[in-house]
Amino acid sequence: MMKVLISGYYGFGNVGDEAVLTAIVQEWRKRDPAAAITVLSATPGLTAELNGVRSIHRFAPVELLREMVRTDLFISGGGTLFQDATSPASFWYYIGLVLWAKLLRKKVMIFAQGFGPLRRWFNRRLAGLILPLADLITVRDEDSLREFRLLGVKPDRLFLTADPTALLNVPGAVEGRKILCLEGIPLDRPLLGISVRSFKMPERDKEVFLGRLAAALDALVERYHFRPVFLLFQCPEDMAKTTRVMELMRTESKVIFRICRPDEMFSLFQHFSFIIGLRLHSLIFAALNAVPAVALSYDPKVAAFAAQAGLPYVDLEHDPSEIDLEREIEKAFSGREQIKEKLQVNARQMRARAAENFALLLEVLRQ
């Protein structure tokens, strides 16, 4: 019986990361129903219940060592784990697990990840020493592929695939409709979905950006009779910025307060006509449902996905006072039919590339 240990940003209530875990477990079960899967999580009980796996706390060293010794395969991913923008400690934790697994002579897969940024030279040096030891590395965008190549990863171990979320088994639109009804959101007008989050930017600039976003949303609502609905991909973390945008808007908006499972959130997207998203997985869900969207890129991973999926994006790395956000969003909205056509083609390609993660892994395990 194959024993699999999975590490990632799990158990923190982030819908995008939980969707990645659900997809990995779901697809692995299809290929090996008898596999013993253990997941490292911040909330092991919830992770175990939602995914039908064994789960231990990510900071339980004795249990973690025991699982690492027992396992046949260590999976790190998905998400963007090897970066030090959040904190150096986060990077050291994830790369330490990879090193630990290789010292114990385990098979290691870096699963459909983004990469970086790594701003500290020591961390980049550490990544260049440890990550090439992995038996297989798959990445979800061209920029990450290039970064891993620069670290010295051999071409026969490095592949461009796609986020495994593309393979999720999802319910039809009925589940999403139920949630909208329970949240008191009528369907008498087309729905405009908005996903915002906190991100690094000087507070003065951030307030300028949020004000311009509110004005752009007001303009869309007034011109096209949208009903704006805010989506919380991580609660309560997303609530502060969501509340601030709502305060700055002139028009009325709604929030879906329910903490959704990945399949429920996916179903919700089938009811939206247009998406404006800072959260990466709000854009991934939009792309997979062929819902036209515009990305607000606070991080290179967002711009990289948008470019690959065929979504327009606004780069927030610039001074927000120099960005005509209303014009950029209006331009994206005007081209929504062309965006939708691109997404319908690209969604099929994303699913095919996501399936390659598992085909490549099974090939490595047979070696």
Residue with tokens 């400690």: 89
Q: How far apart are CA 320 and CA 304, in angstroms?
A: 20
Structure token pair of residue 358: 């598992």
Q: Which of 207, 125, 122, 115 is nearest to 160 (CA)?
A: 115
Q: How far apart are CA 7 and CA 81, in angstroms?
A: 10
Please give the pLDDT value at position 226.
96
Task: Quote the DSSP letter at residue 136.
Answer: E
Lowest mean pLDDT among 134-148, 192-206, 306-320: 306-320
Compute φ and ψ for 258, nearest 5 degrees.
Answer: -60, 135
Q: Which of 202, 199, 197 is nearest to 321 (CA)?
A: 202
Q: Express each pLDDT in 92-149 by its tens digit.
A: 999 999 999 999 999 999 999 999 888 889 999 999 999 999 999 999 989 899 999 9
Structure token pair of residue 95: 């790369």
DSSP 170-209: ---HHHHHHHHHHTT---SS-EEEEE----SS-HHHHHHH
Q: What is the mean pLDDT of the chain?
A: 93
Across the range 270-287, mean pLDDT stands at: 96
DSSP 24-87: HHHHHHHH-TT-EEEEEESSHHHHHHHHTSEEEETT-HHHHHHHHHH-SEEEEEEE--S-SSS-
Q: Express each pLDDT in 213-265 by its tens digit.
A: 999 999 999 999 999 999 999 988 999 999 999 999 999 999 999 889 999 99
Query: What are the structural domains of the chain?
Result: 3-168+350-366 (3.40.50.2000), 173-349 (3.40.50.2000)
Question: Which 3 state secondary structure label does DSSP give 114?
Answer: coil
